[in-house]
Chains A and B, each alone.
Chain A
Amino acid sequence: MDRATALDIVYQAIDVVNGLRSETEQLAKTPDLLLAGEGGALDSLALVTLILAVESRVSTLAGAEIGLLDDSDFGEDAGGLRSPAALADLILERLAA
């Protein structure tokens, strides 16, 4: 899987999260959107929903199970969950592991 595909998977997951938000609260699909951590756009439910949607799509496209929920990236800097770009990198890192 290349990085563009991984980023697209994150954007598809953002579509799922946007379904939970009103029209005026839609998240923009940009690589540096602050998702989690301090000032992040997502609360814990939305973040878990996003991660589950990413995992499901990775499983469908790559035929591989990855566990992003296993991380302790829910803190202030959010690590690999901080932005779509960081999450795409995390997907590729897990697939390569």
Chain B
Amino acid sequence: MTEIQLVSDFNTDVFGRYLAADQTTPVCTVAKAPFGQLFQALQSPSSAGVGVVWARPEGVSPRYAGLLDGEAADLDALLAETEAFAQLIRRFADSKTLVLVATLVPSRNDRGLGMLDWSPMGPAYVLARMNARLAEALAGARGVHLLDAGRWLEAGHGSPRSAKHWFALKCPFTEPVCQAAARDVKAALRGALGQSRKLVVVDLDDTMWGGVVGEVGWRKLRLGGHDHVGEAFVDFQKALKALTRRGIQVALVSKNDEAVALDAIDNHPAMVLRRGDLAGWRINWTDKARNVADLVAELNLGLSSVVFIDDNPAERGRVAEALPEVLVPDWPKDPTLYGDALRRLDCFEQAAITAEDRNRTGMYVVERQRKDSVAAFTSLEDWLASLEIRVEAAPLDEVNLKRAVQLLNKTNQLNLRTRRLTETELLAWVAEGEGRQVMTLGVADRFGDLGLTGLISWERRGDDLEIADYLLSCRAMGRQVEPYMLHLAVEAARAAGAKRVLARAIPTERNHPCLEFWRQSGFAESEPNLFTWDAARPYAKPAAIQSGP
């Protein structure tokens, strides 16, 4: 259960009830600060781990309120009030794992100064400056994210603001706005907790392009050209490609002849997505639900990471029924709406976009080459040696912090304890205990750089060194990085004079591969899920690992 403290200068009851009523993960309990006590609440945070700050601009800055009442305002003084508000949020965030702050939006239906609204002292211009100052002052604040409240105002069909709501409820916004805000907060929470979707599985015919390629051939597909529908399919592909640039993968599942479909992907001049943009594909005549499951298993992802898009409602229904963990959004019939339908999905939130994210598709492409190379070797050892695996272990620092937290929150299968932590919580954990250390592992081989894919942490407990986190991204599994991390822990224990290395596994539905590895690792399972190693004995560094300390 995620506890949320709402802080506002208006009545957030409706917003809070939408948040609490939404039973999708993470389920939330909500406590709101007393009405009208924006600054007091920021200075006395509750014990709730998450804070949501949603204020009216006139509640943040008395000078802005004066501006709305027709007074002249000193812009510098007004921005100083905004800066002071931001600094309060930064201090408030010190006691929270996550703080979400709504951008400032007009709270009443007001033409302002009309044609002078964007003049240097017009309310619209001043509000834009206030938001920019807020964003600048909160940039880099750990665990603080701004949410675009302007998007919430677009929800529903009527006016987003209502004077009647203000006078009757002391909330200036209508229910659809509060509901959109609650959905956005939930999406952000899922992003911060690593519960966002990572893979979009897309159909081909009439989804990626117009027409059935097996019937008309790729030259007659509706894709690009002087055709509004063809342009819409290109737009949809561009939206998919944009996702790949932030670490969300795209894969194909299509009932087609594979050679015909790949011919279109390789050769149609208007294709935006080529093979090199795809994490994988299943193009055959098999049941799509089975293909999705196979593909997801091949990519070492969970079904809860997947979004399935298909123009055919029967296929969507089949996948939704067979694989309930997969998100199957309703899909418009009109292809001109495809791009926006994808861009509006709120399941791809990320607390950060790392270099690994930006290069993830390339990593999957290289992984295909890597797997293809297995066939040339008669033994696993020979293949591993041929990979020229290099591992760089580095302590946690400012540079690798975001990626380390991302790994903690997204890794499921090879994860000893599945401990989910925010940046703030991880840093606090390191600072508060004895002998605590977090090591990150970057992995590369002759095919390319797999990026920062492993993390191990430990702490001193009496004579023992206990492993707190042990996790490795699925894409680096099976390359001897797993035992190499144990080598690191045992070496650290020996250097610190510890007598044993301990690891207490917490079994989950997803981390069987991790438990299997530990049971084969040479550590003794002295009681169920408790693994020990006598630190008097070194733990051999795997032969296939060519570098590292």
Q: Is B537 an interface residue (CB 8 A)?
A: no
Enumerate the 5 nearest inter-chain pairs by beta-carbon distance, A residue then B residue, closest first: A20-B17, A22-B21, A45-B13, A48-B168, A16-B175
Q: Is B480 an interface residue (CB 8 A)?
A: no
Residue of B18, B158, B165, B169 touching A20 (CB-CB under 8 A): B18
Whether the Cβ atoms of B21 and A20 lie closer than 8 Å is yes
A residues 38-65 in Cβ contact with B at 8 Å: 45, 48-49, 52-53, 55-56, 60
Per-position 1/0 for B1-40, Cβ under 8 A of A = 0000000000001100110110100000000000000000
List the B side residues contacting A56 at CB < 8 Å: 158
List the A side residues contacting B20 at CB < 8 Å: 22
Q: Is A23 an interface residue (CB 8 A)?
A: yes
Q: Is A29 an interface residue (CB 8 A)?
A: no
Whether the Cβ atoms of A23 and B23 lie closer than 8 Å is yes
List the A side residues contacting B164 at CB < 8 Å: 52, 55, 69
Whether the Cβ atoms of A52 and B168 lie closer than 8 Å is yes
A-B contact pairs, 24 of them (CB 8 A): A16-B175, A19-B18, A19-B179, A20-B14, A20-B17, A20-B21, A21-B17, A21-B21, A22-B20, A45-B13, A45-B14, A45-B169, A48-B169, A49-B14, A49-B169, A52-B162, A52-B164, A52-B165, A52-B168, A55-B164, A56-B158, A60-B158, A69-B164, A69-B168
Bound Cα distance A48, B13 (Å): 12
With both beta carbons as reference points, the residue of chain B lying nearest to A18 in the complex is identified as B21
Bound Cα distance A53, B165 (Å): 10
Per-position 1/0 for B159-191, Cβ under 8 A of A = 000101100110000010001000000000000
A interface, over-half SS: helix
A62 CB to closest chain B CB (Å) equals: 15
List the B side residues contacting A20 at CB < 8 Å: 14, 17-18, 21
A residues 4-48 in Cβ contact with B at 8 Å: 16, 19-23, 45, 48
B14 CB to closest chain A CB (Å) equals: 6
List the B side residues contacting A23 at CB < 8 Å: 23
Bound Cα distance A28, B351 (Å): 40
Bound Cα distance A69, B165 (Å): 11
Q: How many A-B residue pairs have CB under 8 A?
A: 35
Q: How many residues of B contact A (CB 8 A)?
A: 15
Bound Cα distance A22, B18 (Å): 9
With both beta carbons as reference points, the residue of chain B lying nearest to A43 in the complex is identified as B13
Interface size class of A (residues with CB under 8 A): 10 to 19
List the A side residues contacting B17 at CB < 8 Å: 20-21, 45
Bound Cα distance A55, B165 (Å): 11
B428 CB to closest chain A CB (Å) equals: 33
A31 CB to closest chain B CB (Å) equals: 23
List the B side residues contacting A45 at CB < 8 Å: 13-14, 17, 169
Bound Cα distance A55, B169 (Å): 15
Told that A20-B17, A52-B169, A55-B164 touch, could you supply 6 new A-B pairs with CB distance under 8 A? A19-B21, A20-B21, A22-B20, A48-B169, A52-B162, A69-B164
A27 CB to closest chain B CB (Å) equals: 12
B91 CB to closest chain A CB (Å) equals: 31
Bound Cα distance A77, B296 (Å): 59
B263 CB to closest chain A CB (Å) equals: 49
Bound Cα distance A2, B18 (Å): 32
Bound Cα distance A60, B159 (Å): 12
Most buried by B among A19, A20, A52, A56: A20
List the B side residues contacting A69 at CB < 8 Å: 164, 168
Bound Cα distance A39, B249 (Å): 53
List the A side residues contacting B168 at CB < 8 Å: 48, 52, 69
B282 CB to closest chain A CB (Å) equals: 36
Bound Cα distance A16, B175 (Å): 8
Most buried by B among A23, A48, A60: A48
A46 CB to closest chain B CB (Å) equals: 8
Per-position 1/0 for B492-510, Cβ under 8 A of A = 0000000000000000000
Bound Cα distance A21, B169 (Å): 18
B111 CB to closest chain A CB (Å) equals: 21
A49 CB to closest chain B CB (Å) equals: 6
List the B side residues contacting A52 at CB < 8 Å: 162, 164-165, 168-169
Whether the Cβ atoms of A49 and B23 lie closer than 8 Å is no
A56 CB to closest chain B CB (Å) equals: 7
B residues 134-176 in Cβ contact with A at 8 Å: 158, 162, 164-165, 168-169, 175
Whether the Cβ atoms of B14 and A53 lie closer than 8 Å is no
List the A side residues contacting B179 at CB < 8 Å: 19
With both beta carbons as reference points, the residue of chain A lying nearest to B169 in the complex is identified as A48
B395 CB to closest chain A CB (Å) equals: 45
- Contacts A45-B13, A52-B162, A52-B164 given; does A22 touch B23 at CB 8 Å: yes
Most buried by B among A19, A48, A55, A56: A19
List the A side residues contacting B14 at CB < 8 Å: 20, 45, 49
Most buried by B among A21, A45, A60: A45
Bound Cα distance A52, B179 (Å): 16
A38 CB to closest chain B CB (Å) equals: 22
Bound Cα distance A39, B164 (Å): 27
Whether the Cβ atoms of A53 and B23 lie closer than 8 Å is no
Whether the Cβ atoms of B13 and A19 lie closer than 8 Å is no
List the A side residues contacting B175 at CB < 8 Å: 16, 19, 49, 53
List the B side residues contacting A16 at CB < 8 Å: 175
Bound Cα distance A83, B195 (Å): 42
